Structures are given as structure tokens and as C-alpha cells.
Structure 1
């Protein structure tokens, strides 16, 4: 294989609370003393080198900002229990944008220094660092002791639901907030929840533990935000929330953070993103912005396709939730793999969108409750498709590479097939790889070791030119009548998916063939390469390539001689 001058962005999502925690107690709803907690210091040079060797370019250090918690430290009180989701708390209920969680420090009073040292370790190995930026909402207990002069709401006119320079939206009256469990929370001036619920009695599905931030637009009037300042506006010409958010981004950039994963970015005006990303890149030209966003959310603040709007307003990449859901429906609902062709015609989706087969919001691939309950083998074929069909960035969630299952009741999160972000605990499979801090995988089974090796080899392959910058050509339509193009007794092309990747600059090409059936082997499989595909390759290759047998959830990649 030829080397590649370009490097594909591959992101390792590392949830600090879990990553280095090897405590095996896993008490349901246990506290930090019972279940332990990962530390910045646990993310050692050895662990980072192992991640780097797998082919990753960026590490998303998830959940590092100080957030609401029931654990108290000297000078840091515990939050109101009735406003908490789990003892550890949601990492998206930020209590101080200018600080990191004391849970993650060996010496809590030195937590910022320990975090800074972690950034240095990442950079010494050439890994770019990303942290969360949660712009839409904060914890109800928000109060910065690092930058008290930049606290939210202190100059607000709380007698008005909306004012351009207010940081929050205020409810009428002076009532106690009635929470879903029937308890009251002392609220003072009532504020709208993070998910836009303007009520004194939020439901269980509301983000009642958070309050929504105001960017100078009254969200109740609709999605037209054109009244907001332009991206070139001077800092004295923008709403107060913009000023404070810019200060937050600048603070972490100065510390050495290379980029930001922006939570629920579609709920924030596009004008802010254009302004903030421009200013961030004036400070550091390569500052990386990735957005969690969903076009189908009625709370989005644009009439346009929100994914395209975010890319146009400063983002490097945006979550591709639609591709994830499509592949999940192929596996769980039995949709024909030909339906995957729908992804091939959208160049923006192929080249810019961030793909993933797991993240902290989604279920584990190996969960017994999801993805058909077929275990680690399903993770390979799903990840292979989502990462190889386009040249956009790809993200892997810690534990995915060793088959973490996410099963079991952990506390607030219950048994939902996810690794809880609300509770203290460790990840059983990942702990076996950590192996007491050696990060050598000594505790893994042979199957887990083989899975991690596969992920490592796969992401090295994804840095070949054909996958970094090449085009894609789907082959299922040309094989619809191909009698061998099936698995078991299933209908023709029901479970097999094949495509080409080709880079003209290096003249490198690969054939990728996937079997999405978790049960049936494809016997004596052959793939037709039609004349149109050969013209696309600008080369004469065999019009029928013999693959042989392809196991259930099998993945085959063949480099073509052009």
C-alpha cells in the first residue's frame, strides 16, 4: 500500500470517569468511595501511545468540565439531590465553565494543573485534544469560583421572560419548582429548562436540572434569528451571553485545548457560531469544531438543513445521526442493504459528517438488548461500513474496541444498554485492557484481544489515500441479479453490501464487501464490477471478482491492481 500525505481525522472518545477506573465493585447507585472514578493521571503516556498506535488523531476528553454532582470537596458543595441525575451527575449540567471536575484529580485542589499536564501528554505524542462545550444550558447551581466576574444572570432583568442582554429566560411569578418526583426545588426566579420547557412543573423527560441560555433571540417567536449580529461584529456589539461564551472558548484555548465538541449545537443561533468560530480561529487557526446536532429536532434554530447550516457557519464536522440510524435499521429491522445506497449521493455527508457506531448517548454495539444481541461481530461490520463508505471523520467510544456490553443496572441509568454517564462505575471489558494501569490488555480474553487488534488494523487502513480523500462507487445495483450475492437463503442482495473506494492522485483502489447477516455465511461469493465502475476507476479490471465465502458479519477488503 502507498503511504498517504493526508491524514484522516479519527477521534477517540475518552470518558475520563470510566477510562482509568478499574474498581470492580460496581455497586448499583454507588458513590465515588464505593465505585471509584477515573483520574486525569490515569491517562498515562502508555495509554495515549496505545490510542495513537491504533490510528487516532484526536482525543475527545469527555465530561471534564465541572458539573453538578452529589460529591462534595473542600470549597465545592454537593448539589441539591432533587435536581440530580445520578450521584456522579450529568457531565452536561455544567456548574463552572472555567473549571474541571474535582472527581478527576488526585489532589482536587490542583485539578486544573493535573488537567493541563494531561493536555501536555497528549500533545507530546501528537494527539489533538477536544473538550465539551455546552452552549445551550447550564446547571441550576452554576456559579464560577474561577471567573466570578463572568457568572451568568447577575445583571439580568428577571422580571422579563426575554431581554436581549439577559443570560436566561425567566418565568412569571415566584413559585417553587415542582419536580417530576413530587419534590420542590428552591428556584428563586424561575428559569426555562435546557430543553425549552417554560414551566414551573417540568416533566421527567424535560432537562429540569439545567437552565437554557439566551443568545439574544426569543426562541418562542420562531427560528428567524437574522436580527442577530454578523460574524464580524465587535465584541461590544453582541449580546452578553456571546461575550461570556467567547471568554470560555478563549480560556480553554489558552490552556492548550485544540477543539470543542459542541453539545446540541442546533439549539443555538447560527449567527453566534459564525462569530464565535471566527474569533476562536483568529486565536488558533486550526481550532476544531465538531457539532452534536439533529436536523429533525423541532428546537433547531434555522429554517435550513441544520447540518448544512452548521458547516456553513464554522463547523468542521457535524454528527451524522441519520447514517447511524439507517445502519441500525438494517440490522434491527431487517431492511435491505440496498437501502444503504441512499448515503452515496450526498457528498457533504460523505466528506464532512462525523460518523460513529457508538458514543455516550447511543447503545453499545455488544449490548444484549440492541443490535440484535449478536455481540462483537456485529460491531465490525457496522463500523467498517460507517467508516469506510465516506472520507469524513470517524469516532470510536472507549470500550468499543474491546467489546464493552453496557448491560446491567448502574443506578440512575438503569439497564439500558449504555455505559452510564450519570453514575460512578467502571467498564468491565475496558478495565481488563487497562490491566491495573499497564494498558497492555493482559486481562482480555482472546476474543477481546482479537477485536481490539481488528480495530487497530482497520483504522490504520482508513488512512490509506483511497479512504482519506478518494471517491466511492456502490456496487449493489450491479449485483441485484447476481445469484451468488446473498447470505444463506435470504433474498438476493438482502445482506451483502459492496463498494469501491478510489483515489485518483495515488491511483489506489479498494473493493470493500460486507455481510450484514449475523447468522448466514455467503457461499462462493462473487462481485460483478460493471463497465461503468471500470470507467469510473479509469482502468480495466476483471468484470467479476471472486470473494469466496464470507462469514456472518464478515468484512473483506481487496486492494485492486490498476
Structure 2
């Protein structure tokens, strides 16, 4: 049975489907509006599928801290002092068992709207991914939707103990009040109060987090005593482990196909090994995607049950530098070689909600400049590729939306909107991603990097992919000018890929142009490339 390369489309759910030409900086939901789960209609999902996408990651669907008041629906109001932005961060969860009311047309039936979205997603031929945020919760976490018999996080804690491995869900600063850098009133009559203070999500184990800390969140206790240098106490099983497993099983039971696990490396690998195994006992096809930034930990977390990990500090950082002409293309070879033994587990991407938009002034200034990187990342290996909504039309992320500021990113904190501009770049993405998910040479084939015998080319990159009798010859030009490359195909490539020396009739899958390629051991083949362009010859 043929494999299918995974192409993930990350969408910031709050912004999708919402079209406002005049959003207000720091605007309320009444002023700026908000996208809804129902905006993902069958036709909208069909267009996403036609882009070449196999999986859609709905970012920010679980209820999180917000300044918008939903108390009339029985949803606890959040103190604005501990909310970032009017809309709030989707990574400051206030109820793991609830859907964000901003996304619902009928707030009281928000879970039903989510369940219908699961059904529509699957009917569109897409797999569904949601966030699992295991490391931290909002400071005012309180579940109103937890199943009967479930005890809330922190409900049974002893706050007089800074650390209790088996019982406490949080870390405490006994006898010390929460005293961060900012005004605890934030326009309210009463200040936000927390006594004793709990440790902050980014491993800030004191009572006074700063401006750059994740001050709106509280760190969860998985049995690691950070006060004593990180000693782990995992037997008996910590209470937090069971609570988080129950949450995973709850959403898997809703039909979710995969979890993108936020800051997975800040949670001990021992928990992941335990939890992923138990989830798969009931849902064997479930997938786990981990946000892990330390390459020294990659293999550890894969062994603990992760299917895919972000390739950020390797491939993303290298590709960004190549796009911006800060490094030569040999950085790409270096990046894939560092993870060659685990290459099928590495998730490549050029954008996500944390990173600056390619088209922003802080990155390349134009989405078209990343076309060669798109071709290379999407076609080089069998591993998954992810794009962020708006990337396919060159969204610039240069608005100063509010809390987010003008930083080259699309805000995750504010009520805002994006204006889709389906253009020539969109068509390029559609071609490349459909090649990636339909060509057997990409999803199953061997890869041969020919750059070690073509080191005179510093801004170009070339490789071969082959499965059965089908071969792809991919050549990308990162330079701003057209280039004609005379590429040597080394003797070893013919043996490794079982290629014959002959003249091949090839077609460029990007343009439909037909050419003749004469491939001879250790001889050159001439390839003409447009500026910031590529060819994908199939023969």
C-alpha cells in the first residue's frame, strides 16, 4: 500500500473566515469580530484539501484566558491583569474540557459545533490536529466542563508545600504573594490576587515573573523537583500524569487524529512514554507531534512515543539563513545530515504562529523569495511538511494589532483578521504540495543529495528522489538572478538509485515543460533556472 506524505495546514482558528477591512488596534470582539468553527464549511475545507493538504491543525480551539466576558454563560471571567491581549493567548488554557466560546455561533452549544467540525473535516478527506498544552495552564484555570468524578487541577493541592510529587498539580512559593512586574489592577476595581504564588509556566520558580516571562500561566507539576535540581519522582504515578492522560483520552474520543504537543520538552519524557502508550491502546492510529527545540533530546522524545518533532534549530534556522543569503546552501545538507537517522520523524516548516512571516520586513520581505525553500523542504524527504495559513498567498504579518505589536508575526493575542489574496504564489504552493503528496518518489523514494560534487554552487541546491522506475530531479535556485547550472551526477548516485546511463525524456512538474536529460556517470547536465525558482523534472 502506498504511503502518503503528510502535509499539515496550521490555521489560527480565531482568524480564519473573518473578513474585516478596518480592524481596530486593541479592539474588542464586538469591534473587530472573530472567526468561528462554522466558517470551516465543506467548500472551505475542500479548497484546503485541494491545496495538497492531508492534515489540518486547528490552533486555539480549547478554552483559554480572554478579556471577553462570558460570565452570562456560566464561564468564569478572567482578570485582565493575567491575560495577554484582549483575545488572550491560546496557550493559557482555562478549561481543558471546553471549547473556546469566541469560536462558537451558539456559545451554549460550542462543543456540538466542534463535534460537527470534526465530522466535516473527516468528510473533506482531512485528518484533524488540535493543540495539547501540557506544561502550563492559565493562572485562573477552572474547569466547568470536566466529566463527572474528575477532580480539577490544583483542587486537592497543599499550597504550603512548594513541591509534592504525588499530590500537588502546581508548584508553590509558600508564604509569598504573586508580585509580578506589572500593575495587578489593570483597570479593575480589585487587583488580581494569588497567595501563595505559584510557579510560572516558563520554569520561573519564584513569585515575581518579569515582562518576558509567561506570567499569565502556571507551571504543572509532573513529579520533577526543580527546587532540588530537577530530580524526578515518578513512582507512584504523579497525580498530574493521570489528569493529563484523561484529557488526551477525552479529545481522542471526540475523533481528533493527532495532538500537537506544546513545549513537549518541558514535560518529562517519562510521562510521554507512559501516556502515549496508554492512548494508543485505545486509539492505535493517534499521532503525537512534539515541540522540542533541543536536538540532543530528539531521539529521547521519539523513543518516548512522538511520531514527529519540529525541526527548528536545524532545518528551519538553516533554511531561513539560506533564503536571506546569510548562509550557503551547504547548510541544508548539514541540517538533514544531523537528523538522518530519524529523518522520517522531523517536521519541516517555513512558518508557524511562533515564527515571523517569510514576507515580513523582518524575514525575506516577499513570500516568493521562499519558493526554492518550499520546493526543497516539501520534496527532499519522506517526512511531513507544515505551512501556516496565509503563507500560501504571502501574508506579511506587518500589522500592529495590539498586544502583539508590529513584529512580523500574525497575532495570537488579539482580535484581528486576514485578507486572503489567492494569487500566483498560491498556485505555486498548490503545485508543489500536490507533487509532495501524490508522487511516490517523494512519499516513499530514496533521496540522493548531489551537492557534495557541485560545491561551486553556493545559492543553488539539487537532489534526486527515486521510487521503482520513477525519478525526480529537483533543482532550486535561491539567487535573485537566473542561473544555468552544470550539475555533475556522481557515479555513486547511479549505483545507489539504480539509475541507467541514457537520455531520458523528462517533464517539469511545475510548468509542464518537456526536456531531454542525458545522464552519464560523473558527467554534467545543464539546467536553466529562473531567479528564486526551481524545476522538478520527472522521468
TM-score (norm. length: structure 2): 0.91
- 1:513 — aligned with what? 475
Retained in 1: the 8 A contact 2:446–2:497? Answer: no
Structure 1 Cα separation of the partners of residues 155 and 299 of structure 2: 35
CA distance in 2 between partners of 1:497 and 1:180 (Å): 49
2:323 to 323, 331, 345: 331
2:91/2:133 contact within 8 Å kept = yes
Paired with 1:146 and 1:137, the residues of 2 have a C-alpha distance of: 19
Moved more, 469-478 or 206-215: 469-478
Q: How do 1:284-433 and structure 2 match up within 5 A?
A: 284-295=283-294, 305-321=296-312, 322-332=314-324, 334-345=326-337, 346-371=339-364, 373=365, 375-428=366-419, 430=420
Greater mean deviation of Cα atoms: 11-20 or 335-344: 335-344
Q: 1:404-449 deviations in whole A, cap 9, x for unaligned?
A: 1111211011001110000100112x2xxxxxxxxxxxxx4xxx42
Q: CA deviation at 1:454?
A: 1.4
Task: Name the structure 2 match of 1:38.
Answer: 35
Q: Give 1:548 deviation, angstroms.
A: 4.1
Match of 1:438 in 2: none
> 2:466 — aligned with what?
502
Moved more, 159-168 or 467-476: 467-476
How many residues are paired up? 507
Greater strand proportion:
2
Partners of 2:424 and 2:324 in 1: CA distance:
25
**Unaligned regions of 5+ residues in structure 1, if any?**
230-236, 297-304, 431-443, 481-491
SS of residue paired to 1:415: coil
| Partner in structure 2 of residue 20 of structure 1 | 17
What is the match of residue 476 of structure 1?
451
For 1:536 and 1:495, the matched residues in 2 are separated by 26
Please, which moves more after superposition, 542-551 or 273-282? Answer: 542-551
Structure 2 Cα separation of the partners of residues 368 and 182 of structure 1: 35
Deviation sequence 1:215-242 (CA, Å, 0-9, x none): 11213334554x425xxxxxxx521101
2:272 is the counterpart of 1:273: yes
Question: In the alignment, what sits opposite 1:453?
Answer: 427
Compare 260-269 and 248-257 and name the one that shifted more.
248-257
Task: Tell whether 2:158 aligns with 1:163.
Answer: no
TM-fit CA distance, 1:125: 2.2
Partner secondary structure for residue 167 of structure 1:
coil
Q: Distance in 1 between matches of 2:470 and 2:183?
A: 60
Aligned-residue Cα RMSD (Å) equals 1.7
Q: Are 2:234 and 1:228 equivalent residues in the alignment?
A: yes
Contact 1:344-1:472 within 8 A present in 2 as well: no
> What is the DSSP-based 3-state SS (H/G/I as helix, E as strand, rest coil) of the residue aligned with 1:178?
coil
- SS of the residue 2:63 aligns to: strand
Shift in Å, 1:310: 1.1
SS of the aligned residue for 1:13 comes to strand
Determine the structure 2 residue equivalent to 1:554.
533
8 Å Cα contact 1:291/1:317 also seen in 2:
yes
Compute the displacement of 1:347 (Å): 2.1
Matches within 5 A, 1:67-146: 67-73=64-70, 74=72, 75-146=74-145
**Pairwise CA distance, 1:176:** 4.1
Change (3 A) 1:327 1:392: same
Deviates more, 1:121-130 or 1:177-186: 177-186
Q: In the alignment, what sits opposite 1:299?
A: none
CA distance in 1, matches of 2:228, 2:385: 36
| Deviation of the 1:181 alpha carbon | 5.2
Partner of 1:487: none
CA contact (8 A) 2:178 2:196 kept: no
Residue equivalent to 2:505: none
**In 2, Cα distance between the equivalents of 1:152 and 1:511?**
54
- Offset, 1:122: 0.8
Asked whether the 8 Å contact 1:159–1:170 carries over to 2, the reply is: yes
Report how far residue 201 of structure 1 moved.
Answer: 1.5
Structure 2: how far apart are the matches of 1:339 and 1:398? 27
